[in-house]
Amino acid sequence: LVEGGCVLIVCAGDAKIDNAKFKAQFHTKAKMLTPEQAVEMTGHAVGGVCPFALPEDVKVTTYDGRAFLQAVDTTYDVIMVDAYQDITIPFQMSSVEFFTMVKDHLKDGGVMVVNMNMHGNKEGDINQYLADTIANVFDNVYTVDVAGSTNRELFASQHSDMIEVLSDHVENLSDAGLQNMMQRVADNSSAYVTGDYLMTDDKAPVELLGMQVIDQLIQEEVAYYKDIYEEQGISGLMEHL
């Protein structure tokens, strides 16, 4: 809250809010909105506030997700982690220590949702490292691939029946499109089998792992067009471009 309004702070990969600088900038101490104030002032519920399509009187500032969790004692029903894109994966949000912090900020039965925008099928790729790291923190982990994309969604919780709970409550959604999408998630999610690929604050080679997945995707794409060229020649290849 600042002068009766609110300031929205958005996480940045390697940023951390300095309380003294916050006070110097806004001339007041940082104070979290209540859940009711969040809905009233931003139009979004806590856990779903984004920096877009907000009322004009809401100021937007950047913040680091890990630093935010370190600064609050609040617990949440859902924490969405969407920090993994191409090779711009923040190592401090990919470790056992970070995911343990997320788990500690979830309510009983709460769920962490992770969007991983690349998936591969090679042993020891970036998604296996992330999933293994998460599965060594959470008791229950499920994944589902997003059709027509390289995205994979991961759901982690201490609640052993979280997918069944999702399936049982899908019909309560009023939006038909969202209802269908969440039913597909419930129907196609697979329990993740924990492995031994771990990332910690001391060892998280995310750039190297990200590059390996990108190389794999390029090789698969090139192989597709190579097969067309060998079967149909240059004219067939031109038709597919």
As annotated, the active-site residues are 82
CA distance 7 to 187: 39
In this structure, the number of other CB atoms found within 10 A of the CB of residue 161 comes to 12
Provide φ and ψ at 110, rounded to 5°. -70, 160
Give the β-pairing of 190-191 and 140-145: antiparallel
| 181: enclosing H helix or E strand | helix 176-188
Helices (H) and strands (E) in the chain, counts: 8, 7
C-beta of residue 109 within 8 angstroms of C-beta of residue 76? no
Strands 7-10, 152-157: pairing kind: unpaired
The rounded Cα 154 to chain-centroid distance in angstroms is: 8
- According to DSSP, the residues that pair with 115 across neighbouring strands are 153
SS3 assignment, position 114: strand
User: Strands, DSSP E only, in 27-131?
Assistant: 59-62, 76-84, 106-116
CB neighbour list of residue 97: distance below 8 Å, 6 or more residues apart? 200, 201
| Phi and psi, residue 40, nearest 5° | -65, -40
